[in-house]
Amino acid sequence: MNGYELQIKRFSELTAKELYEILRLRSAVFVVEQNCVYQDLDGLDQAAVHIFIPNADGSCAACARVCEKADEPGTMQIGRVVSKERGKGLGMAVLRAAIDECRRLGASEVYIEAQQYAIGFYEKAGFAVTSEVFLEDGIPHVQMRLAL
């Protein structure tokens, strides 16, 4: 991650520019690039911890968020994992930082809903598939879990 500085902030700690750049990256990839119309602003960002890597110009190179899984005490959920600069290890860096944040917050397990094509990426971080494939906003996903 030469030249990149990972940031970990609660929603209330984000500057307006940081929040804008995180949302801009998520929209560019999950909505525009994947041609998937869905409501990214789902009400979870305000309670989340945001992990992101800003570029020198302030744009967001990679990001993820960590939230409590409301229906499973002791389980944290990682989501919105995305990297603009693929192949540089930035996506894995934010994922590993998100896992560490889950540990720091006292979670015993981490849950994700991964796009099917990204299963191998998450398996490299120790996650295991725990469901059949299902469609989320028209995109094949699986549930995955990691015991801490």
Q: What is the pLDDT of residue 140?
A: 96
pLDDT greater at residue 32 or residue 62: 62
Closest CA to 92 of 25, 32, 10, 6: 6
With tokens 């600069």, the residue in question is 85
Give me the chain's average pLDDT, please. 93
Averaged pLDDT for residues 113-122 = 96
CB-based burial of residue 23 (10 Å sphere; 0-12 exposed, 13-18 middle, 19+ buried)?
Answer: middle
Does residue 37 carry a pLDDT above 90? no
Tell me the pLDDT tens digit for each residue of 45-97. 999 999 999 999 999 999 999 999 989 999 999 999 999 878 889 999 999 99
Asked if the model's pLDDT at residue 29 lies above 70, the reply is yes
CA–CA gap between residue 105 and residue 97 (Å, rounded): 12
Are 101 and 50 in contact, with CB atoms under 8 Å apart?
A: no
95 neighbors 118 (Cβ within 8 angstroms): no
| pLDDT over 70 (residue 1) | no
CA distances from 59 to 4, 65, 79 (A): 12, 17, 20
Going along the chain from its start, the domains and CATH numbers come out as: 7-147 (3.40.630.30)
Of the pLDDT bands very low, low, confident and very high (cuts 50, 70, 90), residue 131 is very high
8 or 137, which is more confident: 8
| 140 vs 72: CA distance, rounded Å | 23
Rg (CA), the chain: 14
